[in-house]
Amino acid sequence: MRLHTGFLMAILALSVPVATYAEAEGKMTPTIWYLDTSVMINGTDLLGPIPSERKLCFAPEANKDDLRCFMAGHQNITKWAPTSIAFVPPKNAPPRGTVILLHPYYESECYIYQGEKKCQPTLVKKRVEMGNYLAHPHIAALIDTETGQTPTELVASRTYEIQGYRFGDTGNGIYAGVHMLSRDTIVRWTYDSILFSPSETLGQGTELFVHNGAGKGNAWIVGDGGHHVGQEEEAPGTEPDAGSGATVSGSGVSFVDIAEDDPLLPALTWAVNAGVVAGYDDGTFRPLRVLSRVEWLKLLIEASDIDVSSATGSTTYTDVDESAWYVPYIRAATEQRLAGGYDDGTFRPEEPVTLAEGLVMAYRAFAIPTLDPRGEEWYARYIEHAQDNTLLLSGENDPTQPLRRGGGVWLLWNLQQFQQRCPCCGRDS
């Protein structure tokens, strides 16, 4: 039996639901990603009109049609609710990319057929951009391709493989210390593997970096048999500032990576003399290194003289190891209501802290009052107060960007001075 075309279209229109699309909106943090960084999107209408068909996608910033997508049930997506999405970025995410929500839905398309109005569902693939990000590369292994072993030195003209994540499709190059190897040494470059043949021997102690166009990421020390972190990452679970890298003379302080006329030096002098920071054993301060949530808590609590010894009991966060160095700081921060966990029961101690998050914690620690905000964001009152009173390091005003060591010490230095001038400030006031 042959069905009339118009009749068939009518049946099709009845069999597929036609949804009304509400434009999704959201804000993503953080926007700089390291290995296993957890990302949160907060917004509205994030499920989409047909929740079973929604996808979370990643695309190169330069080619947003090149989508790499996850369905909602993918293991990297830990939460997808109407107002929030939590996920761990894939290890093959483009280095400089955009997060896009794919929200398919059917809309009714109508036309006139033989004098009658006919309608049929048409699939529309709505794309909603959640923001751009930078994903730093991560070296996981260095292999001699002839022996299959980790080399103790890199011999000229032999071929070696760097294995890892988020190298990108082309990359910027390989660095030995501060010097980039010739592009001619690269045999093959993929997102998780780089083959290269150095033109000269690189001995033990050489620091290898991969630059993927978004950043250098971590360092691999040749001959030391393993992965080591560079200035942009700190080893998870390692207490920061455990060394004594600063040279102290009277009230003066010097670091090998801080010039004598650096505007940051007065803040560092205060922080070192106050016992807030001590630098690293190699004499560096590393002002550009991103702070994690617990690293910032440690600096903040010590700068504001909050007593961590009075905080007792176990934490309730599912991702906090009770034996970790930072547990007393998390306990104190929780009791003093400086910081809290997430809806999924985690604290995410190693996740980079954003400027907005760091400001909220700091203003609570120093008990500095603020006026009603001009903006509508949850952090508006703090960022506006900090900007109005010039408390932030020059050039660091984006609340969604990660807080770095230099900017963090500068903020603490200014906050403690502001607190001393403020008659209504102080935790005991």
Encode pLDDT of 117-164 as tens digits.
888 777 778 899 999 998 999 999 999 999 999 999 999 999 999 999
Residue 114 counted as domain residue: yes
Residue at which a domain ends, from 228, 260, 286 = 228
Residue 236 counted as domain residue: no
What's the pLDDT at 107? 76
Q: What is the CATH number of the domain that holds 73?
A: 2.60.40
Same domain, 269 and 353: yes
Count other C-beta atoms under 10 Å from residue 394's C-beta. Answer: 9
Among the listed residues 415, 393, 414, 413, the one whose alpha carbon sits nearest the alpha carbon of residue 404: 393
What is the distance between the alpha carbons of residues 401 and 396, in angstroms, rounded to a whole number? 8
Question: pTM of the predicted model, to two decimals?
Answer: 0.51
Residue 385 counted as domain residue: yes
Q: Are 174 and 103 in contact (CB under 8 A)?
A: no
Residue at which a domain ends, from 228, 259, 288 = 228
Residue 129 counted as domain residue: yes
Same domain, 260 and 396: yes
Q: What is the CATH number of the domain that holds 205?
A: 2.60.40.10
Encode pLDDT of 363-396 as tens digits.
999 988 888 788 888 888 899 998 888 888 877 7
What's the pLDDT at 244? 53
E strands, 212-361, are 219-221, 226-228, 247-249, 252-254
Given pLDDT bands bounded at 50, 70 and 90, which one contains residue 296? very high
- Average pLDDT score, the chain: 82
Residue 429 counted as domain residue: no
Same domain, 256 and 404: yes
Mean pLDDT of 226-240: 46
Residue 349 DSSP one-character state: T
Same domain, 10 and 119: yes
Encode pLDDT of 54-65 as tens digits.
999 999 988 898
Mean pLDDT of 72-84: 90
Same domain, 166 and 92: no
What is the distance between the alpha carbons of residues 303 and 322, in angstroms, rounded to a whole number? 24
Same domain, 211 and 88: no
Orientation angle between helical segments 405-421 and 265-273, nearest 10 degrees: 80
The DSSP bridge pattern shows strands 116-135 and 32-33 to be parallel
Residue 394 counted as domain residue: yes
Among the listed residues 105, 91, 56, the one whose alpha carbon sits nearest the alpha carbon of residue 163: 91
Q: Are 86 and 38 in contact (CB under 8 A)?
A: yes
Residue at which a domain ends, from 96, 113, 135 = 135
What is the distance between the alpha carbons of residues 45 and 160, in angstroms, rounded to a whole number? 48
Orientation angle between helical segments 293-303 and 405-421, nearest 10 degrees: 30
Residue 241 counted as domain residue: no
What's the pLDDT at 275? 87
Mean pLDDT of 308-337: 83
Same domain, 31 and 156: no
Same domain, 19 and 104: yes
Same domain, 203 and 293: no
Pull the structure tokens for residue 35.
């290995």
The single residue listed with the structure tokens 């007792």 is: 312
Same domain, 23 and 67: yes
What is the distance between the alpha carbons of residues 165 and 174, in angstroms, rounded to a whole number? 14
Q: How far is CA 173 from CA 137, 229, 267, in A?
A: 12, 18, 35
Mean pLDDT of 167-183: 85
Among the listed residues 316, 400, 305, the one whose alpha carbon sits nearest the alpha carbon of residue 359: 400
Same domain, 145 and 131: no
Encode pLDDT of 6-61 as tens digits.
444 443 444 445 555 678 889 998 888 888 788 999 999 998 888 888 999 999 98
Q: Show the domain range for 151.
A: 138-228
What's the pLDDT at 3? 43
Percentage above 70 pLDDT, the chain = 86
* Top mean-pLDDT range of 4-13, 218-227, 296-305, 306-315: 296-305
Residue 261 counted as domain residue: yes
Same domain, 293 and 221: no
Q: Is 171 left (phi over 0), alpha (psi -120 to 50) or beta?
A: left
Domain count along the chain: 3
Q: Are 143 and 222 in contact (CB under 8 A)?
A: no
* Top mean-pLDDT range of 109-123, 337-351, 410-424: 337-351
